[in-house]
Amino acid sequence: MTRRIKILFTIPNFDTAGSGKVVYDLVNGLDKTIFDPEICCFHDRGDYFKTIETLGVKIHIFAFTTDYKPFVGFPYRVFKIYKFFKTHHFDLIHSWHWSSDFSEPLAAKLARIPFVYTKKAMGWGNKAWRYRSWLSTKIITINNDMQSFFSRVKHKVVNIPLGVDIGFFKPLERKGVVLEDCKINDNDFIIVSIANLVPVKGIEILIEAVRLLNNPRIKVFIVGNNENVYGRTLKSKYENSQFQFLGKKSDVRPYLAKANLFVIPTKDEGRKEGLPIAPLEAMASQRVVIGSNISGIKDILKPFPECLFKPDDINDLLNSIKLMFEMKTPERQKLEQAMFIHLHKNFGLKKCIISHEKLYKSILKY
């Protein structure tokens, strides 16, 4: 193959960073002497779209999926997607769509273009997921538990964990960082949790655990979008000087700098976690992380079983926080360093990008 490999990355939107940040990092990091990436999304709205434009790659605004009903028009609608794929002569399509849609891989199959999708969350169960998997050339999983979904097509499955930019997230000094939107005393023990506030994130479990500890030195900073029913309900019920809801932040590093502990209390229900990025960013910042013992989180914290607590269990989380609060400084620093090394070895962005490049080359026999 003399020309560069033309890959289309499809994603519904860039309304928030989320998966969009992963696509940004991947497209930005690919070896451009070998790969020629392009992006396709449904519309050009969203806070993160302008960031994507700075990549300088071609962006298509096109509906790359279609509804199944009415069935009578389904073949024609798929044909339009097929025609789009075929007209642009893509060598490979990598979908970052969260859903079980199979119209996209069907159109790619008809166009004889290899199709890869990344399984981002733990949702499963309907037939469409199986159709999507049968039509795909390869399936990328981001945690170990996901592999059980694909027993009938396990030869297609490649596990590639997400990665963190360790040039951007690196060890942070606590001293000298001023957070004007926070109320902090010098001897406070700061717990940080970063998440867009939806019920599965279990923020109320964290708050109730800290309330039961009844220690005014422990303060909780909740960073993330809270402008929804769940977020507003939590704020109205709990917000005070001990539990501070700080909203969405474009740069979370100053808050990680102040953290003594990072907590991810996701519940064991619904779509749960695929592989959450926020605790990886905390570990790259050389902070101790504790989290629910569920898929994704337990992959991250596998070498640190003492840092896993039972999901939905306020008392178990309480005991984990107490353990970290009472930990002596040398022991804490040793744990911080161990997590930092683990992150660099297993979840660095460069490793993630290289693994994707190898996969693309293997599919196309480059």
Question: Does position 330 have pLDDT exceeding 80, yes or no?
Answer: yes
In this prediction, residue 273 carries a pLDDT of 80
Give the rounded distance of the alpha carbon of 189 from its chain centre. 27
- Residue 303, by phi and psi: left (phi above 0), alpha (psi -120 to 50) or beta? alpha
pLDDT tens readout for residues 94-128: 999 999 999 999 999 999 999 999 999 898 889 99
pLDDT tens readout for residues 354-366: 999 999 999 999 9
pLDDT tens readout for residues 137-148: 999 999 999 999
Q: Find residue 292's DSSP bridge partners.
A: 309
pLDDT tens readout for residues 24-52: 999 999 999 999 999 999 999 988 999 99
Q: Which fold has domain 5-163+348-364?
A: Rossmann fold (3.40.50)
C-alpha to C-alpha distance for 141 and 121, rounded to whole angstroms: 9
Q: What angle do CA 288, 294, 299 make, to 5 degrees?
A: 60
Question: Does position 270 have pLDDT exceeding 80, yes or no?
Answer: no
Which residues fall within 8 angstroms of residue 122, CB to CB, at 6 or more apart?
Answer: 145, 146, 271, 272, 273, 274, 295, 296
Quick one: average pLDDT of 195-206? 94
Q: What are the extents of the domains in the chain?
A: 5-163+348-364, 189-346
DSSP 244-293: EEEE--S--HHHHHH-SEEEE---SSTT--SS-SHHHHHHHTT--EEEES
Question: Does position 276 have pLDDT exceeding 70, yes or no?
Answer: yes
| Alpha helices in the chain, H assignment, sequence order | 18-29, 49-53, 74-87, 103-110, 127-135, 203-213, 229-238, 253-258, 278-284, 297-300, 314-326, 329-346, 349-364
Question: Does position 17 have pLDDT exceeding 80, yes or no?
Answer: no
Q: Which CATH class is domain 189-346?
A: alpha beta
In this prediction, residue 293 carries a pLDDT of 97
Identical topology for domains 5-163+348-364 and 189-346: yes
DSSP 72-106: GGHHHHHHHHHHHHHHTT-SEEEE---S---HHHH
Tally of CB atoms within 10 A around 198 = 16
Question: Does position 1 have pLDDT exceeding 60, yes or no?
Answer: no
Give the rounded distance of the alpha carbon of 207 from its chain centre. 23
pLDDT tens readout for residues 65-103: 999 999 999 999 999 999 999 999 999 999 999 999 999
Q: Starting at the earlier edge strand, list the strands of the sheet with 59-61.
A: 59-61, 35-41, 5-10, 92-95, 115-119, 138-141, 157-159
Band the pLDDT of 271: cuts 50, 70, 90.
low
pTM confidence score: 0.93
Quick one: average pLDDT of 13-24? 88
Which residues fall within 8 angstroms of residue 330, CB to CB, at 6 or more apart?
Answer: none
C-alpha to C-alpha distance for 133 and 154, rounded to whole angstroms: 10
